[in-house]
Chains A and B, each alone.
Chain A
Amino acid sequence: MTAPRRFIVGALGLVLLAGLWELYKLLGPADGVVLAGVTVLPRTSDLAMPHLWVMAGRALEPVTGAGNAMPLWQAVVDASLFTLGISAVGWLVGVTVGLALALLMHRFRLAEAAVLPWIILSQTVPLIALAPLVRRWGTQIQFGAFSWESWMSVALIASYLAFFPVSVGALRGLGSPDANHVDLMHCYSAGWWKTLWRLRLPASVGYLLPALRLAAASAVIGSVVAEVSIGLRGGIGRMIVEYAGAAGGDPGKPWAPIFGSVLVGLVAAGFVGLIGLGLRRFRRGEVAA
């Protein structure tokens, strides 16, 4: 598909989604669809599902009634940029650590046996248990002019989620070249580093790109959740919690930061797309991580 066509299809998807929302709101039962006591589809009241134009209109109004308040959309964009920045730090750290671990595990069989189970175990630790610990340890770190800021705790938690797909994906990617290709490198008497650079790294791109995309999504989710968890001011997560109370009297308002977080996710995925564009030469079909 050509680029403009893809864009049009993407936009059509959005319109379809918006149409579905309004259509369900118009035709759906007022009390939602309840099957065996469990609500499967939401209520269609203005509180539960505000009209899209209510959300859009609210975004153009000031955040609060105060005279100097900025428009809601601007506050959301500011918060989105803040969260995006933290997610980017988390993503970079996570990708670096993930790649380093993958290389280590690939180089030393012993390391793989020792480290891989722990990497998988690491993802079973719930974020809400981890966040306050990270924050508490962070406040105790201080040397010279450097002192640990709360946003670093959030970035660290984001990287904790981001490194996992990268390490697993890269490990599979590094091991993916055919045996005859590896044998060829042997015949050339290429060393481990040379084989890595000429054969294994290019071969791993197809595995790495989906892993990077997954890492970007994880970093964004990690940032938003960690912001809620430790209360970092300025980002989307905190905004979601703070606006939640307005759901009754001002139903359009809580949706604004939700769209903001969608925006952050899209931009993050876009960055990974750019990287994929740069590595196009090495892509021979992608393998889901």
Chain B
Amino acid sequence: MKHRTRWLGTMGALAATSALVLTGCSTGTTSTTSTSGSGVDLVPITLQLQWVAQAQFAGYYAAVDQGFYKDEGLDVTIAEGAADIVPQDVLAAGDADYAISWVPKVLGSIEQGADITDVAQIFERSATTQISFKDKGITSPADLKGKNVGSWGYGNEWELFAGMQKSGVQVGDISLVQQAFDMNGFLSGDIDAAQAMTYNEYAQVLETKNPKTGELYQPSDLNVIDWNDEGTAMLQDAIWADAGKLASDKDYAANTVKFIKASIKGWIYAATDPEQAAGIVTAAGSQLPAGHQLWMTNEVNKLIWPSTNGVGLIDAAAWKNTVDIAMNTKNETGATIITAEPPKTAYSNEYVQKALDELKADGVDVMGAGWKPITVTLTEGGK
């Protein structure tokens, strides 16, 4: 019977494996279906983000948390992004109702056949910058010539290339360095000028101790090339909707107005109470340290407020600028994002205008003319 007991041991190991399997199952099922308290049937809506939960999307998380979507009869589920998730593809495939993505990235998808529409341009300004330490003497795109220039690639490089080409620097004149998720390449000096979002990587540098002084790096240690100032800023986070459904499905078109309206209310909430908004994002599962989260909320607010025409309204000149850059800027392989003008359906102010009109009728301030950013003091590691 010795034989039999050995087999029992094997079976025991297998049973232990199965137990683990079950743990995997039980922890994996965290579906986020909310029920409406009022008994009214809510329309289920999925919003696909372009990255994991962080304050870059504070307005949407605030709108869920504060019940702004529910007030409009929508039950919104936020689907996080990831390394290999392309929000506009998820939207075009019908797996999400709306998606958040950058305009230049989507223009390429539209040319390849994705039938989707920018229905609200939430971020009016670009957050992409190229930062360098003062001693490198890089104050304008022209100074990038002959330098090690970092970029994440994957569609994040176009403002940089456009700015360089505007100043007569070709892609071949720089040595392009693939940048990682962290800023270590920049801090160690491998990258002379690194790509940095004002709301994220710029703060990561300012949260790091300068080994020479023992203090945190200060904004005065850095030169920042801001593409908004260089005139090559491209439109970033926008709400995208399915163009075909907008035309054929009346309910979807009506829900789009409601969705935009509630989202704008969420962003107004984030502007008036950034501390609360940052807390909501952290509660939604973001792993960012608290100080960093608040910094991000504040910086993202700066991209929206004060609004020139009303939040979300697509400025025709800014759109044209983005399209022009997308058609005329060549990357390291000589390719451009798009080869022809995008179709008329690529953007529409119809829905956001309706949403703004309704908000104005309710007495909501959608311009934020008097909005002022708060001062966020960064600490080591963003804690």
The interface bits of chain A over 113-138 (1 if a CB of B lies within 8 angstroms of the residue's CB, else 0) are: 00000000000000010011001100
| 4 closest A-B pairs by CB | A231-B82, A85-B24, A278-B10, A250-B381
CB of A36 within 8 Å of the partner chain = no
In the assembled complex, B242 has its CB within 8 A of some CB on chain A: no
Asked if B188 and A43 sit within 8 Å, CB to CB, the answer is yes
> Chain B residues with Cβ under 8 A from A278's Cβ?
6-13
A248 within 8 A of B: yes
Smallest Cβ distance from A247 to chain B, in angstroms? 4
Q: Which of A128, A242, A246 has the most B CB atoms < 10 Å from its CB?
A: A246
Contacts A232-B82, A280-B6 given; 14 further ones with Cβ under 8 A?
A65-B383, A85-B22, A85-B23, A86-B24, A88-B17, A136-B90, A151-B28, A229-B83, A230-B84, A230-B85, A248-B182, A249-B204, A271-B16, A278-B9
B180 in contact (CB, < 8 A): yes
Given the known A-B contacts A132-B86, A245-B200, A278-B9, are A48 and B14 also in contact in the complex, defined by CB atoms under 8 Å?
no
- The stretch among B123-131, B133-141, B288-296, B340-348 that forms the contact with chain A is B288-296
Name B188's contact: one of A48, A91, A249 (CB within 8 Å): A48
**Given known contacts A66-B282, A230-B82, A246-B382, A275 and B25 CB-to-CB distance under 8 angstroms:** no
Nearest opposing residue in chain B for A43, CB measure: B188
Compute how far the CA of A82 lies from the CA of B23 in the bound complex, rounded to whole angstroms: 7
Contact of B84 among A131, A244, A253 (CB under 8 A): A131
Contacts A85-B24, A132-B84: A248 and B16 contacting too (C-beta < 8 A)? no
Min CB distance B328 to A, Å, is 30
Tell me if B13 and A281 are in contact (CB < 8 A).
no
User: Is A245 within 8 A of B182, CB to CB?
Assistant: yes
Is the Cβ of A66 less than 8 Å from the Cβ of B290? yes
Which chain B residue shows the least CB distance to A151? B28
Segment at the B interface, from A16-24, A163-171, A233-241: A233-241
Contact A91 B6 (CB under 8 A): no
Q: Does A63 contact B (CB under 8 A)?
A: yes
Q: Are B184 and A248 in contact (CB under 8 A)?
A: yes
Interface residue total, chain A, C-beta cutoff 8 A: 59
A85 and B80 in contact, given A47-B184, A65-B291 (Cβ under 8 angstroms) = no
Chain B, residues 64-98, CB within 8 Å of chain A (1/0): the string is 00000000000000001111111001100101000
B46: nearest residue on chain A (CB-CB)? A139
Residues of B within 8 A of A253 (CB): 381
By a CB distance below 8 angstroms, the chain B residues around A65 are 289-291, 379, 383
A278 to B12, CA, bound (A): 9
Residue in chain A with minimal CB distance to B201? A245
Which chain B residues lie closer than 8 Å to A1 at the CB level?
A: none
Are B182 and A254 neighbours in the complex by a CB distance under 8 Å?
Answer: yes
Does B28 lie within 8 Å of A231, measured CB to CB?
no
Residues of chain B within 8 A of A280, CB atoms compared: 6
Contact A233 B207 (CB under 8 A): no
Q: At the interface, yes or no: A81 with Cβ under 8 Å from chain B?
A: yes
* Contacts A/B (CB < 8 Å), 24 sampled: A43-B188, A47-B187, A66-B290, A85-B20, A85-B24, A86-B28, A88-B17, A135-B85, A152-B28, A230-B82, A231-B82, A231-B85, A245-B181, A248-B184, A249-B207, A249-B380, A250-B289, A271-B13, A271-B17, A274-B16, A275-B14, A278-B7, A278-B11, A281-B3
Chain A residues contacting B84 (CB-CB under 8 Å) are 128, 131-132, 229-230
Q: Is the CB of A279 within 8 A of B20?
A: no
Q: Judge whether B287 is part of the interface by a CB distance below 8 angstroms.
A: yes
Q: Which residue of B lies closest to A248 (CB)?
A: B208
Q: Mark B257-298, 1 if CB is under 8 A from A, else 0.
A: 000000000000000000000000010010111110000000
Give bound CA distance, A89 to B18, whole Å: 8
Given contacts A139-B95, A247-B182, contact A89 B24 (CB under 8 A): yes
The answer on a CB contact under 8 Å between A136 and B285 is no
Docked pose: A254 CA to B6 CA in angstroms: 42
**Using Cβ atoms and an 8 Å threshold, which residues of chain A touch B201?**
245
Confirm or deny: A195 has a beta carbon within 8 angstroms of a beta carbon on chain B.
Answer: no
Tell me if A179 is interfacial: C-beta within 8 Å of chain B: no
Q: Are B180 and A244 in contact (CB under 8 A)?
A: yes
Q: What 0/1 readout, one digit per residue, does chain B (21-35) give for beta carbons within 8 Å of chain A? A: 111110111110000
A203 contacts B by Cβ under 8 Å? no
Q: Contact between A88 and B383 (Cβ–Cβ < 8 Å)?
A: no
Of all chain A residues, which has the CB nearest B200?
Answer: A245
* Inter-chain contacts of A274 with B (CB < 8 A): 9-10, 12-13, 16
Interface residue? B52 (CB, 8 A): yes
Could you mark each residue 84-100 of chain A with 1 if its beta carbon is under 8 Å from any beta carbon of chain B, else 0? 11101101100000000
B20:A88 contact, CB within 8 angstroms: yes
Most buried by A among B20, B29, B81, B180: B20
For residue A149, CB closer than 8 A to chain B, the reply is yes
B205 interface residue (CB < 8 Å to A): yes
Kindly state the separation between the CA atoms of A98 and B85 in the bound complex, as whole angstroms: 29
Say yes or no: B24 contacts A82, CB within 8 Å: yes
Q: Is A277 an interface residue (CB 8 A)?
A: yes
Residues of B within 8 A of A156 (CB): none
Which residue of chain A has the shortest Cβ distance to B188 in the bound complex?
A43
**Is A155 in contact with B382, judged by CB distance below 8 angstroms?**
no
B183 within 8 A of A: yes
For window 180-195 of chain B, which residues contact chain A by CB distance below 8 Å?
A: 180-184, 187-188
Q: Which residue of B lies closest to A252 (CB)?
A: B381
Provide the B334-372 mask, 1 if CB < 8 A to any CB of A, else 0.
Answer: 000000000000000000000000000000000000000
Q: How far is the CA of A80 from the CA of B325 in the complex (A)?
A: 45
Per-residue CB proximity of A207-247 to B under 8 Å, as 1/0? 00000000000000000000011111110001101111111
